[in-house]
Amino acid sequence: MPSTMDIFIVASAYGVDFVQKNGHAALVPLAAGANANGLEIRRELFLHADEEIALELATLNPLLAAYGLQAVYSAPESLFLPDGNLNLPDLIARLAEAETLGAATLKLQMHRYAGRVDVKLLQQALSDTPVTLLLENGQQDSGSRITEFASFFAACEAYAPAIPVAMTFDIGNWSWADQNAIEAAATLASHVRYIHCKGVRGEGMRRFAVAPDDGSVDWRACLSKLPGHVSRAIEYPLPAGEEAQAAHVERLRSAGKPTFAALEGVNACQ
């Protein structure tokens, strides 16, 4: 495992209330202090109108650069509309916001995938942006199954020129869809560019994110089947304190320690 593995911290790892009260800008020095390589900015955690969000993203761009951090831009919208067609208005708007932020990637959901995609239209929408689109396996009924992602990427691969689209592989989210995460990793590995690392506890819709070794999925088995060079992200509640947070970052970067459980606390920053 490369020692230079890039580790991102997802904004929600600091606690939704903390982010909404203090803003994403407050997370930048925290992520840098934990020796992370980047921060995942979550659009759903902004409490402003679209125009104000764009202004805040523009402010975050130089701030992230000043701290030497990369950015992933995550938005809650799906690539698809309820009728199964491409959600072009939201895709184009979020790509523009990702460029404003200076993010190399935009993460969307794949809900409502109907087994078809207009690959020519998708390629056209992505052809004029430097941002790569990442689709994440989510927690809803559609767009969350191994077969759906395999079908989508097969359609994209059959089209030329290449479509700049890849996958965010969320280890924990497969539990919501009752899918085998290790099987998913083996099947979809070639498409994965970014990995959300978290464990899951609970049942049904009362599941919640925990540190990887505290959950029910063998996350190491998943990582062993996924590309070793792609970025990983912490998406579970981090403990307070720079030293403790840095320990979580280093554990994920090296995967050299036997357990996350020995790390103190799982409460989000207050």
CATH number of the CATH domain containing 100: 3.20.20.150
Phi/psi for 194 (5° steps) reads -150, 135
- Domain presence at residue 71: yes
- Domain presence at residue 263: no
Taking only the tens place, the pLDDT of each residue in 198-241 is: 988 888 768 888 888 888 889 999 999 999 999 999 999 999 99
Counted domains in the chain: 1
Q: What predicted TM-score, i.e. pTM, was given to this entire model? A: 0.91
- Domain presence at residue 98: yes
- Domain presence at residue 267: no
| Residue 43 DSSP label | G
**Backbone dihedral region of 83: left (phi > 0), alpha (psi from -120 to 50 degrees) or beta?**
alpha
- Domain presence at residue 262: no
Q: Which of 185, 192, 121 minimizes the C-alpha distance to 159?
A: 121
- Domain presence at residue 1: no
* Residue span of the structural domain in which 102 resides: 7-254
- Domain presence at residue 268: no
Q: Among 76-80, 124-128, 164-168, 199-203, which stretch is predicted with the lowest mean pLDDT?
A: 199-203
With cut-offs at 50, 70 and 90, classify the pLDDT of residue 142: confident
- Domain presence at residue 174: yes
